[in-house]
Structure 1
Amino acid sequence: MIKHLKLVSLLLVTLLVSCGEISSTRTIKIAHGLDVKHSVHKAMVEMGKDLEQRSGGKMKLEIYPSQQLGTERENLELLQIGSLDMTKVSVGVMENFAPKMKVFGVPFLFRDRQHSFDVLDSEIGKEILDDGEKYWLKGLAYYDAGSRSFYTKDRPVHTPDDLKGLKLRVMESVTAIDMVKALGGSPTPISWGELYTSLQQGVVDGAENNPPSFYLSRHYEVCKYYSLDEHTVLPDVLVIGTNTWNKLTKQEKDWLQASVQKSVAYQRKLWAEAEEEALTEVQKAGVEVIRPDKSLFKAKVSSMYDSYKDDEIISSLIEKIQQTK
């Protein structure tokens, strides 16, 4: 009789859980490769607070910063097999899993910062975000990652000719590699975590990234020239594995998406402040900040636009983006 009652109780609990009447807290594990001082990490912390409050404690975020769980590519692979729930990656890495994101690597694609926001927040931005789902990766939103520019160890970069013969670190991105080649440099893919040592040891002569990343990585201790050519705008992408997404209830999806969107606005504000601080601090540390003639760099990479003419998807996206007002 007692065994029978225990069995009935167990079945009842199982039924109630499946109906959503009894539920434990759902913990979403999210990893990224940046420092805890970075605006991305701070935005995730706020996202976690908002998610817990919004869900009444039914959902929470567990954050693993500073490549604790691996590189950006490794984190994406963990998402694909369901060992990690969410991550933040650059579109330069994500393009290997979502081909439409290659469009962001096209140099000088956006007129200015506001134009990039208008595109990212539009249906065009959503179309590109959705492109990774067939590879079990669902894009949720874009974080601001500013514009990328070159920094070098031994000589300043005023024109593209100054890049000739330089080994420059790039992400594992075909478009980034093609861009550096077009400018006359020698592209060298190296993981972000290994870059400081690679710069010190002369494995590469320089790299390219946005001001906060240049500052917070302390690469300015090795590279004393920063040339603000602002060749590409590569946003960061918040990605969730479809393994995790498909397990969420509609209510949980709504809570998570709302918290994500709130964190986007917060991160963009922090980013603008971080850019200003970064440029001020690296100059204090002895870095020469150069503002070159961007038209010289733009002319050098114009052939990249021609190379996409046979790619109907990317050429169509380029046209849509350029027409966005």
Structure 2
Amino acid sequence: MKKGISVILAGAMACTAFLGGCSGKTSGTSSAAGSAAGSSAAVSTAGGGQTYTFRYSEIQAPTHPASKADAKFAELVKEKSNGRINIQVYYNAQLGDEKSGVEQVQYGGLDFTRASLSVLSEFDKELNILSLPYLFSSSDQMWKVLDGDIGKKFLNGISGSKMVGLSWFDAGARNFYTVKPVKTMADLKGKKIRVQESALMMDMVKALGASPTPMDYGEVYSALQNGVVDGAENNWPSYESTKHYEVARYLLEDGHSRLPEMQLISQKTWEKLSDGDKQILQDCASECSQVERQLWAESEKDSQAKVKAAGATITELSPDELKKFQDAMKPLYEKYAKDYMDTVNQIQATK
């Protein structure tokens, strides 16, 4: 037995010596791997360190200007984060309608969405200011406001609803269009006008002497065709893409509402991020906002050309007639912006 134990001990010592030599080689390999890992970690740390896959809800089709801008945002973020942050955009309301998307972002079920003020004002009443009819005199004036301190204030203000505003998107000016000619405010009297289910929009139509008729967007074409409503209101691309000009051939270019839209991230998602990653998202959101504005402008011009070529009649309001529309809105300013008139005055004073 003693002889057997001696043999085993001798073998173990030999094996230890052998492994010691192997250990030296392995140590060299591990050191090289450690250097590579350290290099990789340094790159990751510079960009925030973590790898993420986020979901972005979009109700529009991939060809819509906002959807194209969403895609550009995802592309920029992936590029500037060295592939660490991936944003998957879901189009055509695959993840729910606009209001549902905002609600999911609010509680963290979704990471990103883009939403109109008509929806967001339910979460932040002060946003009703930006929905006030005839608030902005032009697109240029609106962007001076939104790109300045007032716009930043509204983006930051949504944080009270557990969301972070990243940037603004354009959605153009909204105009009235009708089955029969309307050239003045008096011509609108008694007309049934389809509007969104928004108290502000319904009050606006009432103030102009017409009858607001809320209904689902998909029902508007047949409602115009069958006389259920006398008219509706929307922006140029929507008027053209829905072919509403086929059954409501008279457009009154009054520009009653210029409703920007907001790109949002969930507060829960935002708080997961490093300062470096937050800056990446903010920079990319600002850049894609500029892309969306250009895409929107191109889409608007294209839609105008198509509608006019199809024989629609476009009426521009004279300055005197426009003032009548504006004056009719004074009760709405009192009702919806009474506590925010300082901000309203700042907006209107911006030139």
Normalising by the smaller structure, the TM-score range is 0.7 to 0.9
Return the alpha-carbon distance in structure 2 between the equivalents of residues 59 and 91 of structure 1: 28
Answer yes or no: is the 8 Å Cα contact 1:73–1:93 preserved in 2.
yes
Aligned-partner residue type, residue 89 of structure 1: A
1:194 Cα deviation from its structure 2 partner: 4.8
SS in 2 for 1:43: helix
Task: Identify the residue that residue 282 of structure 2 maps to in structure 1.
Answer: 257
Answer yes or no: is the 8 Å Cα contact 2:50–2:84 preserved in 1.
yes
Task: Identify the residue that residue 267 of structure 1 maps to in structure 2.
Answer: 292
Q: 1:298 to 1:77 in 2, by over 3 A?
A: farther
**Greater mean alpha carbon deviation, residues 261-270 or residues 246-255:** 246-255
- Residues 139-174 of structure 1 show CA distances to partners (whole Å, capped at 9, x for unaligned) of 21111112110122x212211222222222222332
Task: Identify the residue that residue 116 of structure 1 maps to in structure 2.
Answer: 142
Tell me, which stretches of 5 or more residues in structure 2 are unaligned?
1-40
Task: Identify the residue that residue 70 of structure 1 maps to in structure 2.
Answer: 96
Task: Identify the residue that residue 253 of structure 2 maps to in structure 1.
Answer: 228
Return the alpha-carbon distance in structure 2 between the equivalents of residues 193 and 23 of structure 1: 45
Alignment partner of 1:126 out of 152, 176, 197: 152
- Residues 220-260 of structure 1 show CA distances to partners (whole Å, capped at 9, x for unaligned) of 33322222111111111112221222222222211111111
Q: 1:151 to 1:35 in 2, by over 3 A?
A: farther
Paired residues in the alignment total 306
Answer yes or no: is the 8 Å Cα contact 1:34–1:65 preserved in 2.
yes
Q: 1:67 to 1:151 in 2, by over 3 A?
A: farther
Q: 1:128 to 1:264 in 2, by over 3 A?
A: same
SS in 1 for 2:255: strand
Q: 1:295 to 1:77 in 2, by over 3 A?
A: farther
Task: Identify the residue that residue 165 of structure 2 maps to in structure 1.
Answer: 139
**Greater mean alpha carbon deviation, residues 224-233 or residues 130-139:** 130-139
Return the alpha-carbon distance in structure 2 between the equivalents of residues 187 and 149 of structure 1: 15
Aligned-partner residue type, residue 143 of structure 1: F
Task: Identify the residue that residue 97 of structure 1 maps to in structure 2.
Answer: 123
| More helix as a share of residues | 2
The equivalences for 1:1-325 within 5 A come to 25-152=51-178, 154-200=179-225, 202-293=227-318, 295-309=320-334, 311-325=337-351
1:294 Cα deviation from its structure 2 partner: 5.3
Answer yes or no: is the 8 Å Cα contact 1:89–1:238 preserved in 2.
yes
> How large is the RMSD of aligned CA atoms in angstroms?
2.4
Answer yes or no: is the 8 Å Cα contact 2:129–2:344 preserved in 1.
yes
Aligned-partner residue type, residue 253 of structure 1: K
Answer yes or no: is the 8 Å Cα contact 1:80–1:136 preserved in 2.
yes
Aligned-partner residue type, residue 228 of structure 1: E
- Residues 273-294 of structure 1 show CA distances to partners (whole Å, capped at 9, x for unaligned) of 1111110011222322222335
Answer yes or no: is the 8 Å Cα contact 1:95–1:173 preserved in 2.
no
- Residues 51-90 of structure 1 show CA distances to partners (whole Å, capped at 9, x for unaligned) of 1101111112211222222322121112122221211111
1:127 Cα deviation from its structure 2 partner: 1.1
Aligned-partner residue type, residue 30 of structure 1: Y
Answer yes or no: is the 8 Å Cα contact 1:145–1:271 preserved in 2.
yes
Answer yes or no: is the 8 Å Cα contact 2:167–2:285 preserved in 1.
yes
SS in 2 for 1:168: strand
Return the alpha-carbon distance in structure 1 between the equivalents of residues 106 and 264 of structure 2: 11
Q: 1:185 to 1:64 in 2, by over 3 A?
A: farther
Tell me, which stretches of 5 or more residues in structure 1 are unaligned?
1-16
Answer yes or no: is the 8 Å Cα contact 1:183–1:297 preserved in 2.
no
Larger Rg: 2
1:198 Cα deviation from its structure 2 partner: 4.5
1:218 Cα deviation from its structure 2 partner: 3.0
| TM-score (structure 1 length as normaliser) | 0.85
SS in 1 for 2:329: helix
Q: 1:170 to 1:130 in 2, by over 3 A?
A: farther
Return the alpha-carbon distance in structure 1 between the equivalents of residues 220 and 105 of structure 2: 25
1:304 Cα deviation from its structure 2 partner: 3.1
Aligned-partner residue type, residue 160 of structure 1: M
| TM-score (structure 2 length as normaliser) | 0.80
- Residues 119-151 of structure 1 show CA distances to partners (whole Å, capped at 9, x for unaligned) of 000111111222222222322111111211012
